[in-house]
Structure 1
Amino acid sequence: MDKGQNSGGLMSSAGLVRYFDSEDSNAIKINPKTVIATGVLIGVLVQLLTFVA
């Protein structure tokens, strides 16, 4: 391969990648701690139901 040739890779797809830095005012906003706490509670509930059954 000649040194002047582009090997493709990330440069060929750089134009396809788009970043959006806007927030939708209608979007649901959930605190990350709430998501973690809900996951832990569901896990505990599943473990309890497995133990009882």
Structure 2
Amino acid sequence: MDKGQNTGGLMSSAGLVRYFDSEDDRGIRIDPKTVIAFGVLLGVLVQLLTFVA
């Protein structure tokens, strides 16, 4: 390996960092509390259906 070559990891992941840092205004937005509430309600529903059946 030459001393002048850069095989570091930062340059290889630079595109991914830029991609995930950008925000898209066209996508749907869901509040994190809504996702957690939906998950809890779904879990309760499954437990109730298991108890009844």
- Decide: shared fold, TM above 0.5: yes
User: Distance in 2 between the 1:23 and 1:44 partners?
Assistant: 34
Tell me, yes or no, if structure 1 residue 13 matches structure 2 residue 9: yes
Equivalent residue, structure 1, for 2:47: 47
RMSD: 1.7
Q: CA deviation at 1:24?
A: 0.6
Over 3 Å off, 4+ runs: none
Identify unmatched segments of 5+ residues in structure 1.
6-10
Decide which structure has greater helix share: 2
Structure label with greater radius of gyration? 1
Matched, 1:36 2:36: yes
TM-score by length of 2: 0.70
| Separation of aligned partners in 2, 1:15 and 1:50 | 51
- Number of residue pairs matched by the alignment: 44
Give the gaps of 5 or more residues in structure 2: none
